[in-house]
Amino acid sequence: MIIADRIADLRARAARLPRISLTQLPTPLQECPRFSAAIGGSVRVFMKRDDLILTGFGGNKIRKLEFTMGWVRQQGYDVVVHGLAGQSNYCRQTAAACAVAGIPCHLLLRSDHKAQDPAQGNRLLDYVFGAEVTMLHGRDQAAAKDELVARLTAAGKRPYVIGHDDEVRGAVAYALCLAEIIEQMAALGVTPDCICVTGGAGTSAGLMLGKHMLGFAGEVIGFGPAPAKRDAVRAERIAKIAQDAAALIGSSAIVAAKDIVNTSDFGGPEYGVPTPACLEAIAMLGRTEGLVVGPIYTAKGLAGLISHVRTGRIAAGKNVVFIHTGGSPEIFACNEEVAAYLLASS
């Protein structure tokens, strides 16, 4: 089966899932020649601009939330519950998607070191998008979600809690994103050799599912935004999400943990803490292409790409696509770290 037929098959399978529209697709694909030169000039770097997704300040979760909110509507849920870090991009985008769908959103956020008052960055936008936000000061997040769901249910509501199934739907969304990239690169007359992305769950799983379903011969490299725990465990999780997504759309594609390339080497000492390498990536991209990546998430993957090019892990002559998964509001919550680096490097 030629790749165009494979893309059509993937889209037909995905079209059977409930979905709402939260943006215009495809997102732009932009070559970054000055950035490429700045990291050595040995590769061509293209950026898939998912930060330009229209809803909620953009980002990769909106692709996923199109399918989640479609499911929520189809099944008659009337409130959405989510909760991660205080500066979570996913929570911010969930609040925005709920605003579009007209469904109340409850966020239970960890009171971490970037969630202090006055609210800034993603946390400020949570309020802008109308979410009911509860800051958890030392409380167990899973238990707090269970308690909230019980209260909402007792009040006659049908709450939906964001979880594993949404990573699975998100994997379908990012298999579709890979199809966009392949088509856009073909229109430029360029063959993509390597797709790089920050992530360790549904986005990476979707790219791997797309690789197998579409017959994409290039490499998919994931960069985890958190410190090392066990990369092998993360690979198993990514493969599990990809397999569940394949089952969801009736595909026989098989993604095994051994196929996954995902490293935590650039995650830093703690999730949410900017690293010197990611601050360098922010400055380099900003000063060469006028683009912004956030220091908690996307910049850590960009730092990984830079390192892979400099060390030859990504070989000279390759055409590299970096998926900009959004998260730009993080830069305002990390203003002190970013400003200090920029002043020191100017």
The set of catalytic residues is 88
> Residue 307: which of 265, 262, 261 has the closest Cα?
265
Give CA–CA dist 195/317, Å, rounded.
14
Instruction: List, in sequence order, every residue forming a beta bridge with 344; answer none if it has no partner.
Output: none
Beta-strand ranges (E) seen in 41-179 are 44-49, 79-82, 105-110, 132-136, 159-161
158/160 Cα distance (integer angstroms): 7
Residue 157 gets which letter from DSSP?
-
Query: For residue 43, what is the DSSP state?
Result: S
Q: Is the peptide bond before 274 cis (omega within 30 degrees of 0)?
A: no
**Within a 10 A sphere around the Cβ of 138, how many other Cβ atoms?**
6
User: Rounded to an integer, what distance in angstroms lies between the CA atom of residue 156 and that of residue 61?
Assistant: 29
Query: Which DSSP string corresponds to 168-234?
Result: HHHHHHHHHHHHHHHHHHHHTT----EEEEE-SSHHHHHHHHHHHHHT--SEEEEE-SS--S-HHHH
Cα torsion at 47, 180, 21, 145 (round to 10°)? -70
